[in-house]
């Protein structure tokens, strides 16, 4: 029997994502000037205020306030009327030295014997339901948010947009766990109060709100979604086509209320509360690490609970999660299975993982059990923390770009980044982003599995 499944994403202006980006901007600055830096930086944002907390061990001195303001400006909080802007917000810092008890378990004379920075389990997941081996619901949710941000930054249409936004996508899956069509799209976007009420009455305010909502809904359907479809890969675009092809049947089975929300076979909920002017850190507090499902697989697969942003790669919460994704993606691309979950688990201070687990959900294409596949994974990949850092080149300042629109399913690419500091020389570096998305192990895996 078919079923519905949903995933959400949030924009770079969402308060939790603002906090993530501040933390990763600071981490990047440390790594640019000290590649061996150990960082665990948390950020908290609210009305007119940023608090930066955590532990750092580094030879570099960083202007934390400058990094935070630069990140906030880049996101788009640049107006005092938002009641949170890069130029005037207060910034409190509470950074101290990393615990020596932890450091003695991580640092080793031989770098390759570096211990895990903490205990815990990390998951990686991949599915062939999209071109980038991500769950279709999350992939589309991210694309909606990214495209909306591009429209906002261009400033040509939908000029009322403000930085905070959320999306959610519900899809119908068949009995083979394959996405069939898009059922529902939810878009909530912060906006200027671009329609003024005629007077101070509640009726006039309601009429103004209804006019704004009608305009935003119209623009989401006629401006945002066509751009999303154009940017989508073939597999996602096909889901839009399937929804349109089945529109008559879907509408016939919908309630009267649902039919009013439908367009081309898809139900659209746009700003369901009716108004979204107050948003960002003024509308809700933000904290690093509160969007870990958005960061990973949108509820598909599993999550070990550890956040990513602000942590250097000695923290396996981050590096081992990237390694697990790297393994799962290459395994699915190699044809070992249509879908795969990989779990890695570590003990603090110990280099080798204490366990490697694989689940192919009964969708394997090799005559091996999942436990046998897991043993092969352990033979194929060096999963010690230092080996992961080296394989994926994780000691680069590459993390600000991960802190919005998901850490997984992104495009691996080389870019030049420039870092400036009052305390160090200006540096321009070529770095490689999202190295864990490379498909450079496919042939090796095929050979190992006889595919």
Q: Is 315 annotated as a binding residue?
A: yes
- The answer to the question of whether 419 is labelled as a binding residue is no
- Dist. CA 200–CA 33, nearest whole Å: 56
Helices (H), 34-135: 64-75, 100-106
CA distances to 319, 389, 435 from 293, rounded to whole Å, are: 16, 23, 20
Answer whether 302's CB lies under 8 Å from 106's CB: no
CA-CA-CA-CA torsion sign (175, 173, 332, 305): negative
**Any binding-site annotation on 98?**
yes
Q: Is 68 annotated as a binding residue?
A: no
Judge whether 234 is annotated as a binding position.
no
User: Do the annotations mark residue 284 as ligand-binding?
Assistant: yes
On whether 276 is known to bind a ligand per the annotation, the reply is yes
8 Å CB contact between 213 and 194: no
Confirm whether residue 381 is marked as ligand binding. no
Residue 164, annotated ligand binder? yes
Give the sheet arrangement for strand 161-173, strand by strand: 3-10, 161-173, 179-191, 266-270, 262-263
84: nearest Cα among 44, 116, 56: 44
Is 153 flagged in the annotation as binding? no
Residues ≥6 apart with Cβ < 8 Å to 406: 9, 134, 138, 142, 294, 295, 296
Among candidate residues 267, 77, 303, 301, the one with its CA nearest the CA of residue 186: 267
**147: CB partners within 8 A, 6+ apart:** 224, 227, 228, 231
Distance CA 150, CA 154 (A): 6
Cite the annotated binding site for L-methionine by residue number: 55, 98, 284, 315
Cite the annotated binding site for Mg(2+) by residue number: 16
Cite the annotated binding site for K(+) by residue number: 42
Cite the annotated binding site by residue number: 14, 16, 42, 55, 98, 164-166, 275-276, 284, 290-291, 307, 311, 315
Cite the annotated binding site for ATP by residue number: 14, 164-166, 275-276, 284, 290-291, 307, 311
């Amino acid at each position: 029997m078919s079923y519905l499944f949903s995933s959400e994403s949030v924009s770079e202006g969402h308060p939790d994502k603002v906090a993530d980006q501040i933390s990763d901007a600071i981490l990047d600055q440390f790594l640019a000037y000290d590649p061996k830096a150990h960082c665990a930086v948390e950020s908290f944002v609210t009305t007119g205020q940023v608090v930066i907390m955590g532990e750092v061990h580094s030879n570099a001195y960083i202007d934390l306030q400058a990094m935070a303001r630069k990140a906030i400006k880049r996101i788009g909080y640049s107006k005092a009327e938002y009641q949170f802007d890069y130029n005037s917000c207060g910034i409190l810092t509470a950074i101290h030295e990393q615990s020596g008890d932890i450091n003695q378990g991580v640092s080793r004379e031989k770098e390759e014997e570096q211990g895990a920075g903490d205990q815990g389990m990390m998951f990686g997941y991949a599915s062939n339901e999209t071109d980038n081996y991500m769950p279709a619901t999350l992939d589309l949710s991210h694309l909606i948010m990214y495209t909306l941000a591009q429209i906002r930054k261009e400033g040509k249409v939908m000029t009322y947009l403000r930085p905070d936004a959320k999306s959610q996508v519900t899809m119908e899956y068949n009995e083979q766990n394959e996405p069939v069509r898009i059922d529902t799209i939810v878009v909530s976007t912060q906006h200027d109060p671009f329609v003024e009420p005629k007077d101070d009455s509640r009726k006039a305010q309601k009429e103004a709100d209804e006019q704004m909502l009608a305009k935003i809904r119209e623009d989401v359907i006629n401006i945002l979604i066509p751009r999303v479809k154009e940017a989508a890969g073939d597999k996602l675009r096909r889901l839009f086509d399937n929804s349109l092809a089945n529109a008559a049947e879907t509408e016939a089975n919908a309630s009267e209320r649902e039919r009013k929300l439908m367009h081309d076979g898809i139900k659209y909920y746009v700003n369901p509360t009716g108004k979204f002017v107050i948003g960002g850190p003024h509308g809700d507090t933000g904290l690093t690490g509160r969007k870990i499902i958005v960061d990973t697989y949108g509820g598909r697969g599993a999550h070990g609970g550890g956040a990513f942003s602000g942590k250097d790669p000695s923290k396996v919460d981050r590096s081992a999660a990237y390694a697990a994704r790297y393994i799962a993606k290459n395994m699915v691309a190699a044809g070992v299975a249509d879908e795969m979950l990989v779990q890695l688990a570590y003990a603090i201070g110990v280099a080798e993982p204490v366990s490697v687990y694989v689940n192919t959900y009964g969708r394997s294409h090799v005559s091996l059990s999942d436990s046998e596949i897991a043993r092969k994974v352990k033979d194929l990949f060096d999963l010690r923390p230092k080996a992961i850092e080296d394989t994926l080149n994780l000691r680069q300042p590459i993390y600000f770009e991960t802190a919005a629109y998901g850490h997984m399913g992104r495009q691996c690419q080389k870019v030049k980044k420039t870092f400036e500091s009052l305390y160090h020389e200006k540096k321009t570096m070529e770095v490689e982003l999202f190295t864990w998305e490379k498909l450079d192990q496919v042939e090796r895996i095929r050979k190992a599995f006889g595919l």
